[in-house]
Structure 1
Amino acid sequence: MLKLKKTLLASLMLAAGLAAPAQAQTPVRLGISGGVMEDVAEAAGRAAAREGAIQIKPVVFTGHLNANGPLNDGDLDANAFQHEPYLRGQARAHGYALAPVARTLSAPLGIYSRKYKSLADLPDKALVGIPGDDTNRNRALLLLQHYGLITLRADLDVNRGDNATTLDIVANPRQLDIREIDSLILARALDDVDAGAIITAEASQAGLLPARDAIALEPVGGAYANVLVVREQDRGQAWVAPLIRAFQSEEVRELLASRYSGTLLPAF
């Protein structure tokens, strides 16, 4: 009888174990920009589901809104939409206590035109729109310099945190009319300029893809790779490591290779 009771108890314990629900996944509220990053977050979500530790819950920000303020205030757990120089500028301007924890992808800034097929085709005194914010204005001017259209002053040091402006141009042999224009407006108003420098996130929202539509692209990688960001106080949280693994997963790598080949590249 004692042996029978033990057998029944063991059977009940086994049944209870089989019936117990799976361990709950930790929800991670992730701020992203609309467009390309929605696809990347979906791929990362599949990787996270496969591992089973976290559940990524994307929150999409569009237009002038970004996910740094809500992350700093605790309304989000992480964000994935920006490169580190932009993050540093936001932290200085607003006092955010945010930390990059991993690189995700490179999204090169491109120059687009509805009128010309290449930079060489741009006429003298062409109207060229560039973003008005510090970091992306800097990127656009460095890109124009990279292709030999302008020269910036020699003592400018972007690694030190310098941000170029049009006042730093010391040579402009084709007398380009370089104007700061909100990049979201510029992405939808290319007919009004001869060319425009637009970041990938806003280009994609306007139906433009760098590999297909840009007449010039920023060199990939370096300081302008996108990063995964959390609050400083959350760097050691248990959900951070699986979130990084999800964004640096084969699912994300395969998405970038198949759907955004030549436009977005893994930075991990």
Structure 2
Amino acid sequence: MKKGFKKVLGAALAAVAIFIGGTQSAQAATTLTVGASSSPHAKILEHVKPELKKQGINLKIKVFSDYILPNKALANKEIDANYFQHEPFLKNWNEKNNGTLINAGAIHLEPIGVYSKKYKSLKSLPKNATVYVSSNTADYGRVLQIFKDAGLITLKKGTDLTNATFDDIKTNKKNITFKHTFEAKLMPKLYEANEADAVVINANYAVQAGINPTKTAIALEKKTSAYANIIAIRKDEKNNKAIKALVKVLRSKSTQKWIEKEFDGAVIPVASTK
């Protein structure tokens, strides 16, 4: 009878130990929700999921189809971080929305490019050409830099490209009209419609539309651009260990090599921009 009681007690204690151990493991796992554009951001995040899981981090990805909602969701604590924007865009958003979101680390560059079905280079654009640009003001400096590098425009003295507008153009050699009233996600469709002489498209939207920037663009942003895409977070999360682990994995050599191979130069890891 005594022996039987010891066996029952032992089995009960073992069950309790298993239950407690399971509970502790569940508590040890951290869930990190990151908002991202579908491509390449969400795709890159999917790639690092297994590595983060090894570190006890359950990465959840919430895909956004625009540039407006991800920062709102982050500020409202609906997500823990987002991955879709460069720092000038974040700075602009903070200024307009009295925000305090910060940069937790640069990951990759998506070279913005100029596309045309009518002309093979910027220099071959005709006089009075029309170029469609998105309404995303944070990208205007990038666009101006491309046309400046091609020798088609000059800028007013002291122009800061991080907040420049088309009003900062000093000379416009071909009298190009930059029409900038379109949503960024619509640019690939406008390119296919072939209405303008050229269209400026962000690389993520080009990739989503099946357009390879390095093979199709008639002009592409230089690899040394300061507009690398970042992981953005709330200021109070700057010491979050899971977010630090995410940035570290995204910037690891193995992830960088995968990005280079997967996107064939359309997406450039930060290490390649230095």
8 A contact 2:123–2:152 mirrored in 1: no
Paired residues of 1:45 and 1:246 also in contact (CA < 8 A) = no
Partner of 2:199: 196
Which residue, 75, 80, 87 being the options, matches 2:78? 75
Task: Judge which range, 19-28 or 248-257, deviates more.
Answer: 19-28
1:1-21: CA deviation from partner (whole Å, max 9, x where unpaired): xxxx9xx97xx77x9569944
Tell me which amino acid in the other structure corresponds to 1:141: L
Local SS of the residue matching 2:111: coil
Matched, 1:106 2:109: yes
- State whether structure 2 residue 167 is matched by structure 1 residue 167: yes
Whether the aligned pair in 2 keeps the contact of 1:31 and 1:59 (CA below 8 Å) is yes
**Partner residue, 1:142:** 145
**Contact conserved, 2:89 with 2:138, CA < 8 A, in 1?**
yes
The alignment partner of 2:69 has SS state of coil
Residue aligning to 2:187: 186
Change (3 A) 1:26 1:173: same
* Counterparts of 1:98 and 1:145, CA distance in 2: 31
- Give a deviation string over 1:135-184, Cα, whole Å, max 9, x none: 112211121112211111121023xx5x2222211111122222113132
Aligned equivalents of 1:176, 1:229: Cα separation in 2: 35
Q: CA deviation at 1:202?
A: 2.0
Deviations 1:197-231 (A, max 9, x none): 11112222322221121111111244201111111
One-letter amino acid of the counterpart of residue 177, structure 1: T
TM-score by length of 1: 0.87
TM-score, length basis structure 2: 0.85
Is the 1:69–1:96 Cα contact (8 Å) retained in structure 2? Answer: no
Aligned ranges 1:36-51 → 2 under 5 Å: 36-49=40-53, 51=54
Give the distance between the partners of 1:172 and 1:67, measured in 2 at CA: 36
Corresponding residue number in structure 2 for 1:23: 25
> Gaps spanning 5+ residues in structure 1: where?
none
Q: What is residue 248 of structure 1 aligned with on the other side?
A: 251
Q: Is the 8 A contact 2:123 2:150 kept in 1?
A: no
Q: How many residues align?
A: 258
Q: Where in structure 2 are there 5+ consecutive unaligned residues?
A: 1-5
Secondary structure (helix, strand or coil) at the match of 1:59 reads strand
**Aligned residue in 2 for 1:96:** 99
The structure that is helix-richer by fraction is 2
SS at match of 1:91: helix
Q: Take 1:107 and 1:221, find their aligned partners in 2: how far apart are those partners?
A: 11
* SS of residue matched to 2:170: strand
Q: Deviations over 1:107-158 (max 9, x none)?
A: 1111111222222322222211122222112211121112211111121023
Pick closer, same or farther for the CA change 1:131–1:37 going to 2, 3 Å: same
Amino acid aligned to 1:232? K
* CA separation of 1:251 and 1:67: change in aligned 2, threshold 3 A: farther
* C-alpha deviation, 1:53, in angstroms: 2.3
Structure having greater relative contact order (Cα 8 Å, sep ≥ 6): 1
How many percent identity over aligned positions?
Answer: 29
Distance in 1 of aligned mates of 2:242 and 2:265? 31
Structural RMSD (CA): 2.6
* Aligned equivalent of 2:3: none
1:30–1:77 contact (8 Å) kept in structure 2: yes
